[in-house]
């Protein structure tokens, strides 16, 4: 048996997230179907993360064991032959027996894109949040600095009884908001993320820009461990899993 690590990318606009669901199309479902056509096996695939409906991935990692002997360099093209145009395998390599796409992960980076212009960009429909009010980038970065470090991020997590419960501490290593013309991008890198954490951070930073929350309020919001004190959950449309670290 070989343990294979695949890196894929996908446009999440027409998918209901990564994980297989009973009544909706997921990325995992179409990927498993394509992999079966190559290996003829019902492989137990491990994804590096859940992603929600409409969320995209520039880098998403999958591991699985297989007895198939297809050369590793031919595997991406073979799987891509059966995938829709919105999903692509970027690379493949053999890894140690104990490697697990999720549990071996040391950290992830997400980005959130906003088209900050009065006029919408038709080419970013479904790929960036259209937000027409002027954004205060300086205030957003000032607020974001309070989030860097190891904290209990209960105030920035949606409680979902279907998900695993556990420690809500995470370590944010980098958080920046940058503007390039009308495109504003939030970049967040951490050792792990809670459910909807990046989207809630984005919604909170939008409230900061609007003056509804002051940058210095962030310390108290973190300390309170109270979801009602942070901002709204931003739509999934602008969110991308950007990098996965092992």
- Nearest Cα residue to 156 out of 167, 174, 139, 168: 168
Candidate list 14, 44, 52, 136, residue with the active-site label: 52
CB atoms within 10 A of CB 133: 10
- Over 169-181, what HEC string results? EEEEEEEEEEEEC
Tokens describing residue 6: 């695949």
Tokens of 150: 């190891």
52 is catalytic: yes
Strand partners, 6: 62, 92
**CA–CA distance, 9 with 178 (Å, rounded to integer):** 23
3-state secondary structure at position 88: strand
> Tokens for 241?
């899993």
Strands 107-115 and 129-130: parallel
Report which DSSP code applies to 12: -
CB 157 within 8 A of CB 200: yes
User: Helices 197-210 and 137-144, interaxial angle, to 10°?
Assistant: 130
Q: Which residue has the tokens 């695939």?
A: 45
CB 5 within 8 A of CB 63: yes
Residues recognised as catalytic = 52
């Amino acid at each position: 048996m070989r343990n294979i690590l695949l890196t894929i990318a996908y446009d999440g606009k027409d998918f209901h997230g990564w994980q297989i669901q009973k009544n909706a199309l997921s990325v995992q479902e179409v990927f498993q179907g394509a992999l079966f056509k190559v290996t003829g096996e019902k492989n137990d695939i491990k994804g590096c993360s859940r992603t929600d409906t409409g969320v995209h991935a520039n880098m998403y990692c999958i591991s699985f064991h297989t007895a198939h002997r297809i050369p590793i360099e031919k595997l991406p093209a073979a799987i891509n032959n059966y995938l829709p145009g919105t999903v692509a395998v970027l690379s493949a390599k053999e890894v140690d027996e104990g490697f697990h796409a999720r549990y071996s992960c040391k950290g992830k980076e997400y980005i959130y894109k906003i088209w900050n212009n009065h006029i919408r960009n038709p080419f970013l429909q479904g790929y960036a949040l259209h937000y027409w009010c002027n954004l205060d980038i300086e205030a957003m970065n000032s607020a974001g600095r309070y989030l860097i470090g190891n904290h209990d991020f209960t105030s920035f997590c949606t409680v979902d009884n279907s998900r695993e419960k556990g420690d809500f501490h995470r370590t944010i290593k980098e958080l920046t908001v940058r503007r390039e013309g009308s495109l504003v991008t939030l970049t967040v890198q951490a050792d792990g993320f809670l459910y909807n954490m990046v989207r809630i951070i984005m919604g909170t930073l939008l409230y900061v820009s609007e003056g509804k929350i002051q940058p210095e309020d962030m310390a108290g919001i973190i300390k309170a461990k109270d979801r009602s004190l942070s901002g709204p959950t931003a739509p999934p449309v602008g969110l991308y899993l950007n990098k996965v670290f092992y």
